[in-house]
Amino acid sequence: MPDWRLLVTRRVREISPHETLDPDTVEELAQHLRDRYDELRTGGMPQDAAVEATLQEWADEEWRDAPRRQPPRRPGPATIHDLSSSGSVVTDAWRDVRHGWRLLGRNPGFGATVVLTLAFGIAATTIAFTVINTLLLTPLPVTDADRLVTIGTREPADAGDAGTYLPLSFPNLEDVQGRSTSFQSLAGYAGPFGVTLTDRTPARRIFAELVTATYFDTLGLAPLMGRFMLPGEDDIPGAHPVLVLGHAAWQGRFAGRADILGQTIEINGTAFTVVGIAPPGFKGLDPIFGPDVWIPSMMTPQLVPLERRHWLTDRAALSFSAVGRLRSTVSVDQAAADVTGIAAQLEREFPVANRGRSVSVEPVSRRSLMGISPQMAVLGSFAILTIPGLVLLIACSNVASLVLTRAAARGQEIAVRLSLGAGRSRVLRQLLTEHALLGFLSGAVGLSAAWAGAHLLWSFRPPEYAQNLVDLSVDGSVVVFAIGISVLTTLVFGLAPALHAVRPNLAAALTDDTRTAGHGRRTTRWQQALLVGQVALSLTALATAGVVLQGLQRAYAIDPGFERQQLGVIMLNPGQAGYDDDGAERLYQTIRERVAAVPGVVSVSWASNLPLFTGPSRKIATAGGTPLGSGDGVLTVVNTVDVEYFTTAGVTIGRGRAFDEGDRRDAQPVAIINETLARRYWNGRNPIGDRIALLGDEVPRRIVGIAATVNYDEVGEPPQACVYVPLSQHMTDAVVLYVRTAAEPGPVLATVQREIQRLDDRLDVADARTIQTVLDQALFGRIMGSRLLAVFGFLALALASLGIYGVVAYTVHLRRREMGVRLALGAEPNAVLRLVLRQAFRLVSLGAGVGLVGAIGASAIVSSIVYGVSPVEPVSLVGAAIVLAAVAFVASFLPARAASRLDPVSVLRTH
């Protein structure tokens, strides 16, 4: 057989010596001749005759005369990807990936849009998961956490609403430790609470946790440096001032100094020796907030405020949480039975303190969030994931829509492949590979964005607490989650369009006529379905954000019962600065006088409680004439307040009187109760003049006044009982200065801080807050939650508006011929505009209808979590619908207007 390439090259050179053909053209011409020759040979023609006949195909004069040029060379690879199977799945897959990559490179706009849209949704979901992972899923950094249990006191059901989890009293803890046989090791811990570093100027606050010597052994931890406390260092009260420094605190507050071991740190005026550094990553058992230092429980009197100094000896004071490591042969249930038995013994032996009290034993994992039940945690996690999940779904459907549009554009390419003999499954695999590639890229970008976003979120932590707060755990499970979400995403956005694409009408697709093929129409139906979904999802997200915002607004509107404008507070710990009772009393008096003289100050007083941050702490032992058993008394908020407290804080005294200078230490002990408590025990009778005693009080107090019930622990909380006792009769060395001002409290507080510092620079006055700040802090969770929801809601809306725009624009594109005809037949441009808008809004209303149902469902869930929100919030629902309608209008107006401005002549000419 002749070499046809050589023949073509020679002939051309002979005819036109200056012409050189490019190899592709030579190849193509030679191919033609070869085909002809093969055909003739197959027909049975002898070789020589076949060559002869093939050469007839070449006419020199034709070539010479033909006007021609070099065939155009296209930029980039012009070869359609070979979809015949190579026989090896791996080879095919690799080829598909390379091809997919080339396609992306050829259409970077499409790729970037898809990847960014999806990455955005993936990042949002992954950030939410990171938060959940950090708070709920990351196991404690201890050995065999599944063998650890917590032991808590269980109060009788009617004792108050402080939650089911309560610590043990220290004497009970010691008895359980001594009598129980279920544990390898049992430890108690209390805190973390604020203490003052008194060897610094100005004094600074850190957080300490009191632990029994068994604490670190029970958790199975080893020190990074030095040692933990020894049993001998936790046996005599006040005898061994040693501490273990947390790793983050060592790095942060002490600059990681290697020579820190053996040095002393002065806390609350006592010099503590640093004996060891805790391992990195361990911040105590509370999942959110950890201490800077651990101190032996026997140092309790040196660390806690005056009114808690009885902790080590008071069997009624629930002060120490307990954690135990089970013996290898003991189950949680067996341990629970064992400890419950001991609790029953202790109740018999100490009926006054322990009456009605039992214990609960639970795996440590079960109470990873203080006071939040596992069910609530799961529900909360779902709530946290819902909105980003919706955003991701919208992103997916946007991308699916985009992919469908592109599939319609690529219908011909796919049809060519199918017509060239590629199997449908092979083409499907190629398309899925392309989508998987997009999914993988989105996942990678999304995970990086989530990593950055979560760290950004975490960087908003208040710097003074940053090292106490839990570290963000972006660990393997977050990566697995992001990968899982990406795969799921890919399936959601990629599968349907791919299946759809390999099923087109071949002939119609090959002729590339979306107008007649119906392929475009079918694509549009898909997109319309997706659009309805998007509208529904974004309405759900928006309305939910609105519901939470409304709840927040309501929370701010709630009257907490005290002054909300011209009030400031400063935290003060004279005990930690070395003051004894008498010293503190004199100090309070002096400060009150000095501060009252500061310009702008209306009144000033002291109290033990910060507004909105103090829950019920003590039980009523006697109310009226009848002594109550330990189990029967209501758990009540106790606030120790100085004279002028009620006028300064703006709490109304309904009946009786406020405290005055006559309520001295040596005078008749008095108390003021709130209306809730009055109703609880006096039920319409006048309690004034009656007696009341708190558990542990030696002498009952006489009730002199009834104060209005205010919010003590949380904005909008259910009414709680409260007992006020005068500071002069219940000295405490950790107090809050209340300053009522004539105008904005901020500047006045600064003057007051300077005034106190001038009096004694050992006093830490850094923690000063206006009442507005206190309110903001009390509502911090809700503020953050509603902001996040609002951000997500608007992002969902932005994505949906893109989706609406895309679908309407595409529909208009497909129907521009029809529009052109209408316009040519004399339709008003406005009629065309209305036509497009009407059709867009039919979809939008359908989506909104579905979305409203979803929104009501979502609000029902939210209302079970957020206080003050009802399942159906018309304002939020209607508001979200209006916002959505406005956005949908703009998004569909643009393409609609474009349709109404079509030039019928040019449209009809091209069609």
Partner 1 sequence: MNPAKDDREWKKGSAELLILSILEDRSRHGYEIGKLIDTRSAGTLHFRVTSLYPLLYRLEERALVEGRWVEKAGQRRRRYYRLTRTGRALLGRQRRSWKAFVEAVGRVTGIDYA
CA 706 to chain CA centroid, nearest Å: 42
78 binds partner 1 per the rule CB under 8 A:
yes
Q: Which stretch binds partner 1 (CB under 8 A): 72-80, 361-369, 399-407, 533-541?
A: 72-80
Confirm if 601 and 748 have CB atoms less than 8 A apart: yes
- Please state whether the peptide bond connecting residue 71 to the residue before it is cis, i.e. omega within 30 degrees of 0: no
CB of residue 47 vs partner 1: minimum separation in angstroms?
20
Binding test (CB under 8 A) with partner 1, winner from 16, 20, 107, 511: 511
User: What does the DSSP 8-state code read for residue 320?
Assistant: B
CB of 524 to partner 1, least distance (A): 20
14 touches partner 1 by CB under 8 A: no
Interaction of residue 1 with partner 1, rule CB under 8 A: no
Closer Cβ to partner 1, 78 or 825, answer by number: 78
Cα–Cα dist 49/84, whole Å: 36
The answer to whether 784 contacts partner 1 (rule: CB under 8 A) is: no
- Binding flags for partner 1, 384-423, as an x/- string (CB under 8 A): ----------------------------x---x--xxx--
Q: Nearest Cα to 791, choosing from 120, 116, 118, 79?
A: 120
* Segment near partner 1 (CB under 8 A); pick from 29-37, 290-298, 555-563, 720-728: 29-37
- How far apart are CB 44 and partner 1 at their closest, in Å? 18
DSSP states along 815-863: THHHHHHHHHTT--HHHHHHHHHHHHHHHHHHHHHHHHHHHHHHHHHHH
Strands 618-623, 691-694: parallel, antiparallel or unpaired by DSSP? Answer: antiparallel
58: contact with partner 1 by CB under 8 A: yes
CA–chain centroid gap for 439, Å, is 24
Please list the residues that pair with 276 across neighbouring strands: 226, 244
Residue 74 burial (C-beta neighbours within 10 Å; 0-12, 13-18, 19+): exposed
The footprint of partner 1 on residues 418-457 (CB under 8 A) is 419-421
Residue 744 CA to chain centroid, in angstroms?
Answer: 34
Q: Radius of gyration of the chain from Cα atoms? A: 39
How far is the C-alpha of 550 from the C-alpha of 323, rounded, in Å? 41
Query: Binding of partner 1 at residue 33 (CB under 8 A)?
Result: yes
Name the one range near partner 1 by CB under 8 A: 76-84, 283-291, 398-406, 429-437. Answer: 76-84
- The answer to whether residue 60 forms part of the interface with partner 1 (CB under 8 A) is yes
Binding mask 208-247 for partner 1 (x = CB under 8 A): ----------------------------------------
Residues 774, 567: Cα–Cα separation, whole Å: 10
Using the rule CB under 8 A, give the single segment among 44-52, 69-77, 150-158, 273-281 that binds partner 1: 69-77
Please list, residue by residue across 555-584, b when 16 or more beta carbons sit within 10 angstroms of its beta carbon and e when fewer do. Answer: beeeebbbbbebbbbbbbbbbbbbbeeeeb
Neighbouring-strand partners of residue 770: 568
Residue 86 vs 686, nearer CB to partner 1: 86
Q: Does 80 bind partner 1 (CB under 8 A)?
A: yes
Among 14, 62, 333, 698, binds partner 1 (CB under 8 A): 62
Q: Which amino acid is at 15?
A: I
Q: Dihedral sign for Cα 199, 574, 171, 144, please.
A: negative
Asked if 28 touches partner 1 (CB under 8 A), the answer is yes
146 binds partner 1, rule: CB under 8 A: no
Q: Which stretch binds partner 1 (CB under 8 A): 60-68, 253-261, 598-606, 853-861?
A: 60-68
* Strand pairing category for 601-607 and 321-326: unpaired
Q: Give least dist CB 880 to partner 1, A.
A: 44
Nearest residue (CB) to partner 1, 57 versus 828: 57
DSSP per position, 545-591: HHHHHHHHHHHHHS--SS--SSEEEEEE-GGGGT--HHHHHHHHHHH
Please give the Cα distance from 90 to 536 (Å, whole number): 41
Cα distance between residue 570 and residue 765, in whole Å: 7
Q: Reduce the DSSP state of residue 317 to 3 states and report it.
A: coil
Q: Which stretch binds partner 1 (CB under 8 A): 145-153, 389-397, 511-519, 553-561?
A: 511-519
Residue among 71, 238, 484, 747 that touches partner 1 (CB under 8 A): 71
Among 3, 52, 82, 464, binds partner 1 (CB under 8 A): 82
Beta bridge partners of 627: 622
Residue 86 or 870 having the CB closest to partner 1: 86
In the list 2, 9, 36, 116, the residue contacting partner 1 (rule: CB under 8 A) is 36
Which CB, 178 or 421, lies closer to partner 1?
421
Interface region with partner 1, contact rule CB under 8 A, candidates 68-76, 370-378, 452-460, 889-897: 68-76
Q: How far is the CB of 48 from partner 1 (least distance, A)?
A: 20
Cα–Cα distance measured from residue 637 to residue 658, given in angstroms and rounded to the nearest whole number = 18
Q: Which residues, 480 to 509, sit near partner 1 by CB under 8 A?
A: 507
**CB contact at 8 A, 531 and 803:** yes
CA–CA gap between residue 485 and residue 472 (Å, rounded): 20
Choose between 66 and 258: whose C-beta lies nearer to partner 1: 66
User: Residue 760: phi, psi to the nearest 5?
Assistant: -160, 115
Query: Which region, judged by CB under 8 A, interacts with partner 1, from 25-33, 402-410, 423-431, 783-791?
Result: 25-33
Nearer to partner 1, 92 or 233 (CB): 92
Interaction of residue 73 with partner 1, rule CB under 8 A: no
The β-bridge partners of 264 are 273
Which of 611, 484, 405 lies closest to 125, judged by CA? Answer: 484
Nearer to partner 1, 84 or 459 (CB): 84
- Report how far residue 692's alpha carbon sits from residue 681's, in angstroms, rounded to the nearest whole number: 10
19 part of the interface to partner 1, by CB under 8 A: no
User: Shortest distance, CB of residue 2 to partner 1, whole angstroms?
Assistant: 14
Q: Indicate the burial class of 266 (C-beta count within 10 angstroms; 0-12, 13-18, 19 or more).
A: middle
Q: What are phi and psi of 152, to 5 degrees?
A: -130, 160
C-beta separation of 468 from 290 below 8 A? yes
Q: Least distance from C-beta 28 to partner 1, angstroms?
A: 5
In the list 5, 41, 45, 63, the residue contacting partner 1 (rule: CB under 8 A) is 63
Residue closest to 247 by CA, chosen among 260, 263, 265: 260
Query: What is the rounded distance in angstroms from the CA atom of residue 769 to the CA atom of residue 609?
Result: 14
Q: Which of 16, 20, 84, 864 binds partner 1 (CB under 8 A)?
A: 84
Q: Does 88 participate in binding partner 1 (rule CB under 8 A)? A: no
Please identify which residue in 2, 5, 25, 477 interacts with partner 1, judged by CB under 8 A. Answer: 25
Q: Are 883 and 530 in contact (CB under 8 A)?
A: no
Nearer Cβ to partner 1, position 33 or 428? 33
If one asks whether residue 516 binds partner 1 (CB under 8 A), the answer comes out as: no
Examine residue 90 and tell whether it contacts partner 1 (CB under 8 A): no
Examine residue 699 and tell whether it contacts partner 1 (CB under 8 A): no
Choose between 19 and 144: whose C-beta lies nearer to partner 1. Answer: 19
DSSP SS3 for 188:
strand
Per CB under 8 A, the list member of 144, 158, 235, 512 interacting with partner 1 is 512
Size of the site for partner 1 (CB under 8 A): 41
Cα distance between residue 202 and residue 186, in whole Å: 39
Near partner 1 by CB under 8 A, which window of 84-92, 166-174, 656-664, 855-863? 84-92
φ/ψ (deg, to 5) at 763: -80, 130
- The residue from 3, 19, 22, 57 that contacts partner 1 (CB under 8 A) is 57
Question: Does 686 participate in binding partner 1 (rule CB under 8 A)?
Answer: no
Backbone angles phi, psi at 193, to 5 degrees: -135, 160
Q: Which residues contact partner 1 by CB under 8 A?
A: 24-25, 28-29, 31-33, 35-36, 56-60, 62-63, 66-72, 78-80, 82, 84-86, 412, 416, 419-421, 507, 510-513, 910
